[in-house]
Structure 1
Amino acid sequence: MRNFIEECFKTLNIIDWIYKSFPGEIPDGYTMLPYEVKNLSNEIFELIMGDSEIEGIIRKNSIADKMLTTYLDSEQSIREVISEGIKPVDILQGWSAGWLSPEGEYYALNGSIANMLHNQIADALVVAGIIPIGRPKNGEAIDNRKNPDEWLEANGWIKIHGDWILYDGWNRAHIPGYKVIPMTEKQKEIIYKYGQVCCNGILKLGFTQERVSAARFEMTEIPMLRKYFEL
C-alpha cells in the first residue's frame, strides 16, 4: 500500500508537470485529470486522511513532489539558458550557484543541488569556447570536456554556491606539475560585494565552511586568505 501510494504521487506529479510545461502538446483525445478522476481523488483523500500512517506518507510525498517539480522546472530554465549560449551575469542578482573567473566574470544558474549546477555551467563554458577543449601535455592531448570543473579549478576560478565560497588555487601547489594560483584582487572585491548584498554580510569559506564577515574578508590581505581555503 505504501509503495503504491508513493508511486502514484510521483507519476501524477510528473504528468501534471508535463501538462503545465507543454501546453497544447498533449495528444488529441487525452484529457488531463477529468472530473471523475478528480472527484475520486477527493473521496480517497477524505477516507485516508484519518489514518495517521497514510497521512504521514502523503506529507512526505508532498515534500518530495515539490522537490521534483522544482528540479524539473529548473532543468527547463537551464536548458533555455544554455541553448542560447551561457553569458556572464550580475553576481549581485543572487544566483543559486556559479563560477567566478580571475577577471571577475560570473557565470551562474538557478536551481537546486540536484540540478548539479556547477557541472552544467562548466559544460556550457566548454561549448562557449571559454574552456579550451584540450592542450598538449607530454605529447598527449587532454580533453577538458571530460572534466571541465578540473580545468576551472586549475585556472583560478572560484566556485560559489549561495554563501559558500570554494577556491582551489592555493591547493594546487600540492599537486606535481602545478603551482600556487592566488585569488585575484578583482575576485576578492566582487566576493566582498556579493557577501554584503546577497549573504547578509556573512560568508562560509573553504571546505570547513568557516563563517567570516564580508567586511573581514575585504580587509584581509590576499596571502592571508589562503588559510581559509587551503586543505
Structure 2
Amino acid sequence: MNEFTNWDIFQALILAARWTVVLSLIAFLGGASVGLLLTFLQISSRTALVRIARFYVELFQGTPLLMQLFLVFFGLSLLGIDVSPWTAAALALTLFSSAFLSEIWRGCIESLPKGQWEASRCLGLSYFEIMRHIILPQALKVAVAPTVGFSVQIVKGTALASIIGFVELTKAGTMLNNATFEPFKVFGMVALIYFLLCYPLSVASRHLERKLNVTG
C-alpha cells in the first residue's frame, strides 16, 4: 500500500477539483446559451417552435443525467464519432443544464403580469422593444437567484462524469481510495471540497433573492 499523507491526498483532490470547476463553467455557459434560445422558442407565437422546444426540455428533464452521459459517450461512438470523456461530459451537461435553465427563465417571464404586454402593445412597441425594455429587465431580477441556485446542481452533476472516465473530483477520490484504502478519509475530503464549492453559490442565491426582493 502506498503511503500518502493527508496533505498529499488533499492536494491531489484540489488539483482534480480544477477540472470540476472548468466543466461546471462550460456546462453553465453552454447551457445558458442554448437555454436562452429555448426560452424564446417556448414563448414564441409559433406552435411548431413551441412544441419542439418543449419536447427538448421534457426529454432532458425527464431522463437521468447519468443515462444522458452514457448515450452521448457510447452513442456517438456507435455512430462512428470518436469523442473523449471530456467532450462527452461537456456536451451532456450542456444539454442537461440548458433544459432546466430554459424552464427557469420561461417561468420568470411568464410570471410577469399579462397587462404589461397589453399596455406595451397599446403604446405601439414592437415585440423586440417590449422584450428589451419592459419584459426582460423585470424577468432578469426574478431569474438571477434561481439561476445561481441551479449552478449548484451543475457542480454536483459533474460528479457523474466520472462514470465515463472523466477525471474530476469524484474520479480522483475513487483513484486515491484504491491506492490508500482509506475511503472515509478520502471521500470525506471529497465531500468537504464539494461543500466549499457549492456553499458560496447557495449563499449568493439566498442573498440575491433577498436583495432583489423577488418574494415580496
State the TM-score, normalized to the length of structure 2: 0.26
Larger strand fraction of residues:
1
- Higher relative contact order, chain-length normalized (CA < 8 Å, sep 6+): 2
